[in-house]
Amino acid sequence: MSFIQEFKKFAIRGNVVDLSVGIIMGAAFGKIVASAVEDLFMPMINPLLVINCNWESIVIGPGIKIGRFLAAILNFLVISLATFFLIRVIHKLQKSEEKSEEAPQGPTPTEKLLMEIRDALKK
């Protein structure tokens, strides 16, 4: 098997494609959450923390950017919370699908035939 054929087999495998889609969707989701934090939450939090100052620009000592670190922590918490809720919804949808699939179905034709034979033998 040539290198190109081997690489093609590897690249087209389902797991690689699924992982690629997951990474792309994760990056897009990260941008949405970062925008939500920076554009929605931070304007509400800034007045509560430091009056007339962008708290992300707080620096302690030479080059120690504590404000950026706190913003990264807040981004992580929001992303974690949003991911948790997303996974929770997905699990609920999966459980409801499993319940609908587990609905009891009537006996199969073979089972009906066996029941008839059983009833005939009882008589």
Mean pLDDT by 10 residues, the chain (123 residues): 83 77 86 80 72 72 84 81 84 80 75 90 88
Boundaries of domain holding 79: 3-122
CATH number, domain with residue 70:
1.10.1200.120
The model carries a pTM of 0.50
Check residue 117 and give its pLDDT. 92
Check residue 42 and give its pLDDT. 73
Smallest CA-to-CA distance from 68 within 58, 78, 60 is with 58
Check residue 57 and give its pLDDT. 77
CA distances from 70 to 38, 55, 67, 82 (A): 12, 9, 5, 18
For the chain, how many structural domains are there in total? 1
Check residue 103 and give its pLDDT. 59
Check residue 53 and give its pLDDT. 66
DSSP string spanning 50-112? STTS-GGG---STT--HHHHHHHHHHHHHHHHHHHHHHHHHHHHHHHHHHHHTSPPPPPHHHH
